[in-house]
Structure 1
Amino acid sequence: MVERPPAGTIPDAPGSYQFKDAHGRVIYVGKAKSLRQRLSNYFQNPRNMPPRTAQMVATAETVEWIQVRNDVEAFMLEYSLIKQHRPRFNIRLVDDKSYPFLAVTVGDEWPRPMVMRGKRRKGVRYFGPYAHAYAIRDTLDLLLRTFPLRSCSDNKLERHRKLGKPCLLFHIEKCSGPCVGEVEREHYDRLVEDLLRFLEGDTDEIVRRLEGEMATAASDLEFERAARIRDRLTAVRKAIERQQMVVEKGEDLDVIGIAEDELEAAVQVFFVRRGRVLGRKGFVVDKVEDLAEGELIGRILGELYQEPAPLGIPRTVLVPEDPDDIALYEDFLEAQRGTRVSIRVPQRGDKRKLAETVTRNASEELVRHRLKRASDHNSRSRALNELQEALDLPTSPLRIECYDMSHLQGTDYVGSMVVLEDALPKKSEYRRFKIKTVAGNDDFAAMEEVLTRRLSAYKVERDKPVSEREGRFSYPPQLLLVDGGKGQLSVATRVLDELDLADEIPVASLAKRFEEVYLPGQADPVRLPRQSDALYLLQRIRDESHRFAITYHRQLRDKRMTRSVLDDIPGLGETRKKRLTKELGGVRAVQAASLEDLKSLSWLPDKVAEAVHAKTHGT
């Protein structure tokens, strides 16, 4: 448990504080107007604290803080540290869906509209995000009838420019043909500006202009042109209908709706510009820390607006309840926008109805999320608790490492390490080991080498200052599993004893029969109930360790087999090697081929054929 810093050492000033565990890992980040007052709340009787807060304080070993000038800087520093460290006890987004945007590449020579996902790029204007990509594509198809900008890739544009012929989109009037000089730069730029204004919600001017152009063409008896403008006007109106008018005054708003339970909260955000919904976004928050609704809304505001918003920050943000320190968040949004931003709870009228709609969307999303993850979330919690109880572990095994060996008659010996954190695979922590010191078929020696290398690396990392740790082997498991029975367990126990880690890292082995788990010092195995979540978890991690080891073994074997036969043959480069194996039916077929068969290949020189035959037949 973290010790209270000496009296008077904590400043009575705004800042951010970080709790760290015994390994120097940041497990919680917070902010405070007064660091002294806020931190004092953590050093009281744990019975008086919320359960998750008490668990965090019990896990922490040290607390540090960074003093800043004001509350806004403390808030921004807190978010920056959370983003950098992803602490266990801070709330976090568990929905990492990449939402599609309608983007316009205004930085290109000939800008184009397109559907984009992922990280935003410079020189691109984004509109959205939207819930479904097909909705954007349908809208874009309508808009190209009115704003005939090129929608092709840069390579296709360059190809048609060299050909001097436009593509089909030009002929069906969905592109103005910049690739063949059919449109002047000034007119094209005006089309881009009109499209951007339309996407920003300024639709009335576009409609009025098209209506005027259609009337002028009809009065001049240019009926074909009038008909084309009519079709464009119809397409524009259909696109406008898809942007639902939600507030009559044409205001700019962001509307946040939240539905929550004790563990999670579903958040929906509608982006309203000029009275119309131009985009929406949803995510789920894992409520790792105990937060009142006002505190939760404050954290959500930080997640939404610390990064540049695609449609900018509006003058008004509607929330279901005021955040815990509304002045702080309004100052923060003002610093981001450059002008005053109001955070309000709608009380009546269109805005109240809109907020209810957004909250209803959030409630529906939470129901869908529960149906999808409820069994998984509950089973993971039960599995960890059951493992701790059944194996008599000092703590819940939040990090489990499982090791397995793979070989073929003693060749291409490899070991695998798979990692589960919070009972979920953490593939970025997986490691593969190519056995270096073991000759022949000796699983015990191979396991000893792998565990020695991994745990020795941990000891080296553990003894470094926190700032110098590389992170690959910095953290020990709360449970180390080896595949096998008592023999593998004795190897793992011996390695832990030799490295003085036996008291720090619990170890167990999985026998071939899943219901048998061997522990040090116990003759009889622990038998887990066949329908238990703990047994299911062990089955999953064992299957994953097998898969990971076998995959690596096959990669090495395939590489060795290919290189040992056809590699380093004079005149047989990669292209000829691929063609040779393809025409003859594989590496083994090349080995079986006679010299006459090889020389019969018209594209293979006789000298190369002789060299291949000599290499594959050992002559």
Structure 2
Amino acid sequence: MEKIPEKIEKKLHLLPEQPGIYLWKDADGRVIYVGKALSLKNRIRSYLSTPEKDVKTRLLMSQAQDLDYIITLSEKDAFLLETTLVKRHRPKYNILLKDDKRYPFVKITSAEPFPRLILTRDRVEDGSRYFGPYTDVKSLRLTLRNFEWVFPIRTCKREIPADKVRYKKACINYQLGKCLAPCIGAVSQEEYLRVVKRLVAFFEGRHQEVLEELRAEMNQQSENLEFEQAAKSRDRIQAIERIQKRQVVHSIEARNLDVIGFYQEENVAVAAVLRIMNGMVVNREDYPLSNVSNIESQDVLAAFIKLYYADKDMLPEEILLPLEPSDFDELQTWLKGRLHLPQRGDKSHLLAMAKRNAFQLVEERKLAHIRRANRTIFPVQELKEKLALPKLPRKMVCLDISTIQGSNMVSSAVFFENGKPKKSFYRRFIIREIDTQNDYAALQETLSRFLEETHKNEAMLPDLIIIDGGKGQLSACKKVLDSSEHSDIPILSLAERAEEVFLPGRSDSITLPRSSASLRLLIAIRDEAHRFAITFHRSRRSKRTLLSELEDIPGVGEHTKFLLLKQFGSVEGVRKAEVDQLMTVKGIGRQRALQIYEHYHSS
């Protein structure tokens, strides 16, 4: 950061020496990094004074335009608040759990007389029990479906009071044995809550406790000659036992552990958490991590631990780690001494298994990335070969115009990189140098203005220019290109009817096979340019239509018309506004407000 931005500079002399949280913001006010500090003053000044910075910090400071901070009572409070703010803002330079919002929790409600089980992605502090999040959503749904009759509690939204029966008919789940139907009074509240308690124990991994209860219940039912109920209890016992047989058993005594496997390679990192309950591996949760380029493994692991355990209702007895993370003492205090780094024995074996899972996940992600890249780059390679282009057209721009009978003429330039849209490089233009409908001149103006944009940002300079049109449009744009410093950039046009490709210097068109990936890519780019131009044209036309209805008001210019529509939403809203309301619009005093009011009410 060569020059300190004005907003940051104004705050530097106000920085306290107390602990707290600091938030770097970009030019649009978005939080791009959240950090904690023992001394806010010293930490923030270190960003601005240290000449040697790592790659991430240099990028961060090149975009930082503003700063906020929150003072905390202690470093521990700063530690906890940092995690909360990272989850809330998801800053681009903090390490994050990729797509962690998509992972569902199992929620067992507590504020209802007859609690229900639901899947939710929102975790609210409402006293309910939450289990998860579960990364393997498909497996979770299958498990719940198979266990609906083992723990038949309701999943519906019916309001069911404890003291009276509100409904006369139960849903089909009751007939299928998947719900005890408290809605029709088919079960007492005491009996229902006993099933809920068992379900909670099951999710907590206390399977043996649930089995012992069910066996005692089955024996009691047999003694009471309730053979049908006893058979149901037996089936439930067998279902839980089948689950136990599928789980890996370890020689560790009945302990609850989290084993964190971790693997990082360049810009890819994954944490795999093995959940062990009562000595059995009951689940594996996989967490890809983003923003890890040029970050040490110790820092990535520390960030993961903070994010992962921030929302946990229950902590295991021990958390096994493959290496010592940064901020180890703070993490150990926060997690009440549960962190361990075993070097030998069964726990070391578990760590090796978790790491093997993490390594496999990294390999799978790399392979998936290669496959995705091949899907998008292959049409680009085919385009180079079919059209004999001098270089691979990784960056392509397509130009299109939109107009109705020559009015409100606009144009678009859409940008594709490696076969995918790059919307930050999209541009749209209001055609200003011609009064009548002239597609050739409009495209020439569009190309000239887009090339001007590339002077501001060289990354926008394309390897191929695509024109929506035929030979005439291509010839017109080729003249602009030849008169510029970029005459060597290849250019083509795509005729809409027969999907013919025209190249400069050729009288005949090139017809690409309808099934070819290269033609599909050209059509996709052309259609995107068309969509972008039409959308812009419609918004301009709509706005102009509204403004035209205000044309007759004396003394009201374009800007004031826009402000009136923004304030009142429509011409009808302006018509109905009183004088005092009109005066609330910026730039409108009493005299002008009276003119506007009388314009609509003079008759």
Instruction: State the TM-score bracket (shorter-chain normalisation).
Output: 0.5 to 0.7
Distance of 2:396 and 2:76 partners within structure 1: 39
Q: Which amino acid aligns with 1:527?
A: I
Cα 1:402–1:36, aligned 2, differ >3 Å: closer, same or farther? farther
**1:323 aligned residue:** 325
Task: Give 3-state SS (helix, strand or coil) of 2:149's partner.
Answer: helix
1:261 matches 2:268: no
Tell me whether 1:305 sits opposite 2:309 in the alignment. yes
Q: Which residues in structure 2 correspond to 1:98-109 (within 5 Å)?
A: 98-109=102-113
Partner of 1:512: 466
Please give the secondary structure, in 2, of the residue aligned with 1:229: helix
Which of 31, 39, 42 aligns to 2:36? It is 31
Q: Structure 1 residue 432: deviation in Å?
A: 9.2
1:489-512 per-residue CA deviation (whole Å, 9 max, x = no partner) reads 335688x8xxxx986899768743
Residue 530 of structure 2: aligned partner? 546
Which AA in structure 1 matches 2:530? H
Counterpart for residue 93 of structure 2: 89
**Deviation at 1:265?**
0.6
Inter-CA distance 428–278: structure 2 relative to 1 (3 Å threshold): farther
Residue 130 in 1 paired to residue 126 in 2? no
Structure 1 residues 222 and 90, CA gap change in structure 2 (3 angstroms): closer
Residues 163-174 of structure 1 mapped to structure 2, 5 A cutoff? 164-174=168-178
Cross-structure match for 2:256: 252
User: What secondary structure, in the 3-state scheme, does the structure 1 residue paired with 2:360 have?
Assistant: helix
Q: Distance in 2 between matches of 1:432 and 1:492?
A: 9
Q: 1:361 aligns with which of 357, 361, 364?
A: 357
Q: Write the mapping of 1:148-167 to structure 2, written as runs, cut at 5 A.
A: 148-152=152-156, 154=158, 164-167=168-171
SS of residue paired to 1:346:
coil
Residue 20 of structure 1 contacts residue 61 of structure 1 at CA under 8 Å; is this kept in 2? yes
* Distance in 2 (alpha carbons) for counterparts of 1:16 and 1:520: 55
Instruction: Give yes or no for contact 1:79–1:302 (8 Å, CA) kept in 2.
Output: yes
- One-letter identity of the residue aligned with 2:347: K
In the other structure, the counterpart of 1:209 is 213
1:174 positional shift: 2.9
Structure 1 residues 242-251 or 314-323, which shifts more?
A: 242-251
The root-mean-square deviation of aligned C-alpha atoms, in Å, is 5.2
CA distance in 2, matches of 1:166, 1:24: 53
- Structure 1 residues 226 and 305, CA gap change in structure 2 (3 angstroms): closer
Alignment of 1:230 with 2:234, yes or no, is yes
Q: For residue 178 of structure 1, what is the amino acid of its counterpart?
A: P
Are the counterparts in 2 of residues 247 and 351 from structure 1 also a CA contact under 8 Å? no
Structure 2 CA distance for partners of 1:529 and 1:26, relative to 1, 3 Å: farther
- 1:476 matched to which residue of 2? none
The Cα offsets for residues 243-268 of structure 1, whole Å up to 9 and x where unpaired, read as 55456433333322211112121122
Measure how far apart 1:341 and its partner are. Answer: 4.1
Residue correspondence of structure 1 range 51-130 to structure 2 within 5 A: 51-57=55-61, 60=64, 67-83=71-87, 86-95=90-99, 98-114=102-118, 116-121=119-124, 122=126, 124-130=128-134
TM-score when normalising by structure 2: 0.63
Which residue does 1:271 correspond to in 2?
A: 275
Partner Cα distance (1:155, 1:64) in 2:
45
In 1, distance between residues paired with 2:521 and 2:78? Answer: 41
Contact kept? 2:260, 2:355, Cα under 8 Å: yes
Superposition deviation, residue 234 in structure 1: 1.3
SS of equivalent to 2:102: coil
Match of 2:340 among 339, 344, 368: 344
Report the 3-state secondary structure (helix = DSSP H, G, I; strand = E; otherwise coil) of the residue aligned with 1:296: helix
- Judge conservation of contact 1:3–1:62 (CA < 8 Å) in 2: no
Give the Cα separation in 1 of the matches to 2:281 and 2:330. 27
C-alpha separation between the residues in 2 aligned to 1:296 and 1:79?
A: 13
2:298 equivalent in structure 1: 294
Aligned mates of 2:78, 2:375 — CA distance in 1: 38
Structure 1 residue 227 displacement after superposition:
2.6
8 Å Cα contact 1:419/1:425 also seen in 2: yes
Query: Percent of counterpart pairs with the same letter?
Result: 34
Cα distance 1:163–1:107, how it changes in 2: closer, same or farther (>3 A)?
A: closer
- Relative to structure 1, the CA distance from residue 179 to residue 403 in structure 2 (aligned partners, 3 Å threshold; closer, same or farther) is farther
Q: What does residue range 370-389 of structure 1 map to in structure 2 within 5 Å?
A: 370-374=366-370
> d(CA) in 1 for partners of 2:526 and 2:139?
43
Distance 1:281 1:274 in 2: 18
Which residue identity does 1:350 align to in structure 2? D
**2:345 counterpart letter in structure 1:** G
How many residues are aligned here? 480
Please report how far the alpha carbon of residue 367 of structure 1 lies from its aligned counterpart in structure 2 after TM superposition.
0.8
CA distance in 2, matches of 1:156, 1:555: 50
* Matched residue type, 1:261: E
CA distance in 1, matches of 2:111, 2:432: 53
Residue identity matched to 1:125 = R
Cα deviation for residue 57 of structure 1 reads: 4.3
Structure 1 residues 175 and 329: alpha-carbon distance in aligned structure 2, compared to 1, 3 A threshold: same
Counterpart residue identity of residue 546, structure 1: H
Question: For residues 359 and 503 of structure 1, what CA distance do their matches in structure 2 show?
Answer: 47
Separation (CA, whole Å) in 1 of partners of 2:189 and 2:401: 65
User: Counterpart in 2 of 1:285?
Assistant: 289
Unaligned runs of 5+ in 2: 378-394, 469-473, 493-519, 542-603
The 2-side partners of 1:433 and 1:519 are apart by 18
The range that moved more, 217-226 or 316-325, is: 217-226
Would the alpha carbon gap of residues 248 and 53 (structure 1) be closer, same or farther in structure 2, given more than 3 Å must change? same
Matching residue of 1:14: 19
Counterpart-to-counterpart distance in 2, 1:503 and 1:103: 52
Alignment of 1:427-446 (within 5 A): 441=437
Contact 2:136 2:285 in 1 (8 A): no
Deviation at 1:346, TM superposition (A): 2.4
1:176 lines up with 2:180 in the alignment: yes
CA-to-aligned-CA distance 1:503-560 (integer Å, 9 cap, x gap): 6899768743699997898254342699xxxxx9999876644344457779999xxx
Q: CA separation of 1:414/1:353 partners in 2, compared to 1, >3 Å: closer, same or farther?
A: farther
**Any residues of structure 2 matched to 1:522-601 within 5 Å, and which?**
522-527=484-489, 544-550=528-534
Aligned to 1:298, what secondary structure does the other structure show?
helix
Against the structure 1 CA distance between its residues 108 and 10, is the aligned structure 2 distance closer, same or farther, given a 3 Å change threshold? closer
* CA apart distance, 1:107: 3.3
Residue in 2 that maps onto 1:468: none
Q: Secondary structure at the match of 1:512?
A: strand
Q: Tell me the distance in 2 between the aligned counterparts of 1:218 and 1:52.
A: 68
Between the aligned partners of 1:152 and 1:346, the Cα distance in structure 2 is 46
Cα pair distance change 1:331/1:540, threshold 3 Å: farther
Q: Deviations over 1:71-105 (max 9, x none)?
A: 22333444455445544433344445722443333
TM alignment of 1:372-451, pairs within 5 A: 372-374=368-370, 405-407=401-403, 409-410=405-406, 441=437
* Residues 1:487 and 2:445 aligned together: yes
Indicate which of 191, 198, 217 corresponds to 1:187: 191
Q: Residue 472 of structure 1 corresponds to which residue in structure 2?
A: none
Structure 1: how far apart are the matches of 2:400 and 2:329? 56
Contact 1:30 1:78 in 2 (8 A): yes
Higher mean alpha-carbon deviation, 350-359 vs 518-527, is at: 518-527
Mapped partners of 2:540, 2:282: distance in 1: 52
The Cα offsets for residues 554-603 of structure 1, whole Å up to 9 and x where unpaired, read as: 9999xxxxxxxxxxxxxxxxxxxxxxxxxxxxxxxxxxxxxxxxxxxxxx
Kept in 2: contact 1:413–1:434 (CA 8 A): yes
Q: TM-score normalised to the size of structure 1?
A: 0.61
Task: Read off the aligned partner of 2:212 and give its amino acid letter.
Answer: R
Amino acid aligned to 1:319: L
The Cα of 1:370 is off from its aligned counterpart by: 0.7
CA 1:81–1:413 in structure 2 vs 1: closer, same or farther (change >3 Å)? Answer: farther
Q: 1:143 to 1:436 in 2, by over 3 A?
A: farther
Query: Which string of whole-angstrom CA distances, capped at 9 and with x for unpartnered residues, describes residues 101-131 of structure 1?
Result: 43333434533334x2422354643323334
